[in-house]
Every structure is written in C-alpha cells, then in structure tokens.
Amino acid sequence: MARHIRLVVRRIIADGPDTRRLLLQDPDGWPLPKWRAGAHLDLHVPEVGARAYSLCGDTATQDCWEIAVRREAGSRGGSAWVHDVLNEGDVVTVSMPRCTFPIVLDSSRHVMVAGGIGVTPLLAMAHELERRGALWELHLLFRGEAPCIAAMEGLLRTGRIQLYDTARQARPSWDALLGGEPMPGLHAYCCGPQAMIDGFAEATAGWPAGTTSIEHFIPPPLPAAEGAQPYTLCRSVTGAKMEVEAGGSMLQALRALGAKVDASCEGGICGACEVRWLEGEPIHRDRVLSPDRRRTHLMACVAQCGSARLVVEA
C-alpha cells in the first residue's frame, strides 16, 4: 500500500485559463522527500477518491511540491474540488510521488511536446535538464492562453521553450516539432490530449524502440482483452481466493478479498494499483509497466487473466 502524507496548501496561484497552481509544504516546514522529474502524486479528494496530478516544480526545491490543476468540464470531482473548495491554509492528504514518465538521462538531446495542461510533467523535466546542462527543447501547443506561464518564467529565458497558440497560427507539423527523422541520441516525449498523443505515436511509429515516451492524463479506451477467461484469483498473503469472471475487475476482486490496493485513474496510466504476481498468466493492458517489470508485476485496475488461476502478492 502506498504511503500517504499530509501537507498544507501554502499558496494557490491562478496560472492560466481555469488553472490553479498549488504549492504544498509540510505543516511544520520540514524538507519533503526527493522525487524524480516526470513524477505525479495522488491528491485525495474527500468523498471522491484519489486523483493523480503531475508535479510541475523543480526537483531541487526541497521544501515544496507544486501541482497545477485545470478545471475540466467533465470533471470526476477532483478539479472541481480544487477550484471551488480548496483554500490556502487547508491541509490535504497526498501519496508519495511515483514516476512512470522518467527522463531518459543517457540520451544526448531531449525534445518535449505538450498540449495545454499536459505541460506540467515536462516543466519538471525542463528544470532538471537545464540544471544538468543537457540539450533540450519544449514545444507547447495551446489555444488562446498558455497554461502555467508564470511557472515557466525562468525557463522561458533560456530560449528553449517554443509557444504555439493554435487559435492564432497554423498548427506546426510533427516534422517541424520533432525535426523529421530521428537522430542518434535523441529522445522525444509527449503529454497532452489523446488526439495529440495519437499524432505523436503515428509520427514516431518508425523510430527505434526506446526513443519515445508518452504520458497519458486521461485513460485511453481499452478494447476487450483477447484471451481473457474466468479464473481463480488467490492472495498469497492470506490464501483467500475468489472466482473472477472473464473481463471482471481484478481491482474490485482484490478489495473484496480484503487487500488494500490503492487506485487513482483506474485506466492503467497512473501506476497506483501495481501488485506483484507469482503464478498464472496475466494479460497486461496498462500503459506504464516496462516489459521487464511485467514479468513480475501487473496493474490491477486493467489487468485480465489468460489462465485458470492467478496468484498475487497483495
């Protein structure tokens, strides 16, 4: 089960259209645990549950974590609570940061493309890369007004951030953003709405494996899992077991068996519900686990099973 800590909202900054940036600190002013650029945390919203938000500050700042939250028209309750209920001085519960979208530090050049509020994890990356003296560039596409413009003030002075208001100018081509064909040492990153992610994936489809990274902030639709079948789910810790129908929720089944499994996105993109599996044939449908990690772990919110029995350490 993930660790949780209580932090105070020291400042709330209006930073772009329908966007609030929260500066979170320990109530007694203690330094906060270290985190990796590209990480996110879960903000626990009363009567709603956990909602994941990317950390957008500088990893070198030890006494403050920053997140930026845009009010979403189709909010599941998280962004509305942040905008309508949360005030400076309030105490909130958050998870420890986890990183499923890391910087690939052995690359010699980094090109980042963001759409709207998807810029948040890339701002943390930009701070880190600038401090390391790395070659980087960030392309931010938006309509009307850029999000988090105050948060990127210092970074803008580097000249490495390009802003594109697509309400006023033609949307740049992927070749223009990515530089055409991949070059040795180049790694490209993308975070934004699904249409942008789809375009990025198509534009880089022929790139060498391991040279691109994508961060989803809305779970993509999942097709039915091919080969999924009914199975017996077993907890190795207690020996408890239950039957799960083909396509049934492993996360719900584990909770019914008494396992305390965190969850946030419930769409396989945030990494909150990772559990170790010991026996069986899980069908992985998440967007965060590496092939090596999948040999030992799964994401319970979206995983299915292709064998008659699955044993997990939860």
CATH of region 231-313: 3.10.20.30
Phi, psi dihedrals of residue 81, rounded to the nearest 5°: -65, -45
In this predicted structure, what is the pLDDT of residue 167? 94
pLDDT: which is higher, 220 or 269: 269
Tell me what pLDDT residue 263 has: 87
pLDDT band at 117 (very low <50, low <70, confident <90, very high): very high
Q: Which CATH number fits domain 109-215: 3.20.20.80, 1.10.357.20, 3.40.50.80, 1.10.20.10?
A: 3.40.50.80
Instruction: Count the residues in the chain.
Output: 314
Average pLDDT score over residue span 59-75? 92
Residue 111 has pLDDT above 60, yes or no: yes
CA proximity to 17, closest of 68, 86, 77: 68
What is the mean predicted confidence (pLDDT) over 235-256? 94
Torsion of CA 202, 205, 207, 209, to 10 degrees: 130
Residue 88 has pLDDT above 80, yes or no: yes
Residue 296: how many CB atoms within 10 A of its CB? 11
Does residue 293 contact residue 308 with C-beta atoms inside 8 Å? no
CATH number of 4-95: 2.40.30.10
> Domain residue spans in the chain?
4-95, 109-215, 231-313
Supply φ then ψ for residue 276, to 5 degrees.
-85, 135
Residue 75 confidence class, pLDDT cut points 50, 70, 90 = low
pLDDT above 50 for 236: yes
CA dist., res. 67 & res. 80, Å (int): 15
The pTM of this model reads 0.86
137 falls in which pLDDT band (50, 70, 90)? Answer: very high
What average pLDDT does the segment 127-132 reach? 97
